């Protein structure tokens, strides 16, 4: 009997893929960096039993409508806003993601971004490397404290909780806003549930970790930034679509908020010419929340294991519900 056919939308390391070749016929897009083009993805998906996708691929209704054999889409990310879930459901395609294995790594990066932004680490480095450091002075590159400040976490899922855990070593006061209350987070980390508005008004650090949905789209707009403290720092490690980037730029330019640390953008990759990137108080990263070697390997294996389970007629390990 022919082995089921998997299409993988990026070149992944052979040492990860090879063990799965005994179960599947595996075809990979040959590029490590360049995403697959839409036409190729559509054509490969139309013949595949499974596709392993990156967050860069948009899987829309037309893809599902033309993929008669497709049984499972395994997305290499915890987020899945790139996939039309209604269309997947309509065509009985299981969708899986890679939660849990990336939680600590993404929380580390989120907190690192907060620290880099608060303590002006990137600005300081550029200052030295550009040959500007001629004297030590008392307020040279003075940032703001992290310890004993208030952090407001918007989206208290697994990563939000793990960021809350990180903040305990810094004696921070934790506010959070979430679709529903999280009594375990309140008990374990002393986090206080509050409205979105109050969180914005009361936090020194506002950290966005909510998923991108119709409800959360552009939730950080003009009104949200206006509510924040003038020395507040905004961190986004979720999805760029939650932020109105023009409103963020205006808030930073007008001094409505102090600084921003951004791992994600509305359009990725963001152009180096984008006005946000010209602001010295913005620390930006190329969407690397879960990008440690160890974690990316675990994500790849989990995605492949999800495919294996579904194609063998079992429940997936981490289905998107
Ligand atoms: C995810 O998994 O959704 C992250 O954004 C990847 O870094």
Reported as a single tens digit per residue, the pLDDT across 173-211 is: 999 999 999 999 999 999 999 999 999 999 999 999 999
**Is residue 148 flagged as an active site residue?**
no
Q: Are 244 and 217 in contact (CB under 8 A)?
A: no
**Atom 2 of ligand 1, nearest CA residue:** 77
Query: Ligand 1 within 6 A of 114 CB?
Result: no
Query: Ligand 1 within 6 A of 99 CB?
Result: no
* CA end-to-end span of the chain: 32
CA distance 242 to 249: 14
Instruction: Domain 103-284: give its CATH superfamily.
Output: NAD(P)-binding Rossmann-like Domain (3.40.50.720)
Q: Are strands 173-177 and 25-28 parallel, antiparallel or unpaired?
A: unpaired
CA distance 245 to 266: 7
The mean pLDDT of 15-31, rounded to a whole number, is 98
At 244, is the pLDDT very low, low, confident or very high (cuts 50, 70, 90)?
A: very high
Evaluate if residue 168 carries a pLDDT over 80: yes
The CA 135 to ligand 1 mean position distance, Å, reads 41
In percent, the amount of the chain with pLDDT more than 70 equals 100
In the prediction, which pLDDT does 123 show?
Answer: 98
In percent, the amount of the chain with pLDDT more than 90 equals 99
Determine the 3-state secondary structure of 246 from DSSP. Answer: helix
Evaluate if residue 85 carries a pLDDT over 80: yes
Residue 46: exposed, middle, or buried by beta-carbon count in 10 A (0-12, 13-18, 19+)?
Answer: middle
Going by C-beta distance under 8 Å and a sequence separation of 6 or more, which residues neighbour residue 215? none
Q: Are 135 and 190 in contact (CB under 8 A)?
A: no
CA distance 124 to 164: 27
In the prediction, which pLDDT does 321 show?
Answer: 85
> What is the predicted ipTM?
0.92
Q: Are 51 and 58 in contact (CB under 8 A)?
A: no
The mean of the pLDDT values for the chain is 98
Reported pTM: 0.97
Instruction: Please choose from 52, 74, 75, 78 the residue to mutate so as to test ligand 1's pocket, defined by most ligand atoms within 8 A of CB.
Output: 78
Going by C-beta distance under 8 Å and a sequence separation of 6 or more, which residues neighbour residue 313? none
Please give the number of the atom of ligand 1 that sits closest to the Cα of 76. Answer: 2
Asked if 5-101+293-311 and 103-284 have one fold, the answer is yes
Domain ranges of the chain: 5-101+293-311, 103-284
In the prediction, which pLDDT does 1 show?
Answer: 76
In the prediction, which pLDDT does 44 show?
Answer: 98
At 172, is the pLDDT very low, low, confident or very high (cuts 50, 70, 90)?
A: very high
CA distance 301 to 74: 11
CA distance 164 to 203: 14
Q: Which of the four CATH numbers 3.40.50.300, 1.25.40.420, 2.40.30.170, 3.40.50.720 does domain 5-101+293-311 have?
A: 3.40.50.720
**Is residue 268 flagged as an active site residue?**
yes
Taking only the tens place, the pLDDT of each residue in 94-129 is 999 999 999 999 999 999 999 999 999 999 999 999
Q: Can you point out the beta strands (E) in 39-144?
A: 50-53, 72-75, 94-96
């Amino acid at each position: 009997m022919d082995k089921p056919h998997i299409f993988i939308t990026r070149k992944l390391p052979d040492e990860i893929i090879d063990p799965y070749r005994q179960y599947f016929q595996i075809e990979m897009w040959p590029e490590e960096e360049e995403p697959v083009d839409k036409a190729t993805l559509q054509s490969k998906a139309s013949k595949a039993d499974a596709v392993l996708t990156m967050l860069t691929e948009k899987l829309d209704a037309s893809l599902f409508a033309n993929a008669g054999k497709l049984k499972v889409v395994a997305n290499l990310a915890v987020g899945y806003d790139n996939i039309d879930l209604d269309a997947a459901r309509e065509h009985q395609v299981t969708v899986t993601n890679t939660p849990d294995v990336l939680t600590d790594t993404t929380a580390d990066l989120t907190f690192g971004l907060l620290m880099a932004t608060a303590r002006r680490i990137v600005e300081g480095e550029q200052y030295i490397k550009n040959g500007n450091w001629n004297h030590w002075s008392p307020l040279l590159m003075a940032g703001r404290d992290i310890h004993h400040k208030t952090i407001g976490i918007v989206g208290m899922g697994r990563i939000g909780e793990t960021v809350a855990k990180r903040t305990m070593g810094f004696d921070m006061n934790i506010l959070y806003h979430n679709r529903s209350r999280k009594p375990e987070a309140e008990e374990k980390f002393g986090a206080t549930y509050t409205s979105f508005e109050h969180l914005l008004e009361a936090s020194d650090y506002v950290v966005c970790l909510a998923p991108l949905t119709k409800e959360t789209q552009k939730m950080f707009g003009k009104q949200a930034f206006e509510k924040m403290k003038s020395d507040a720092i905004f961190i986004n490690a979720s999805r760029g679509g939650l932020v109105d980037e023009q409103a963020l730029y205006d808030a930073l330019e007008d001094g409505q908020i102090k600084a921003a640390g951004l791992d994600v953008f509305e359009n990725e990759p963001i152009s180096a010419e984008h006005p946000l990137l010209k602001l010295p108080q913005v620390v930006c990263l190329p969407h690397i929340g879960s990008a440690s070697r160890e974690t990316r390997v675990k994500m790849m294996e989990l995605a492949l294991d999800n495919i294996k389970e579904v194609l063998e007629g079992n429940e997936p390990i981490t289905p998107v519900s």
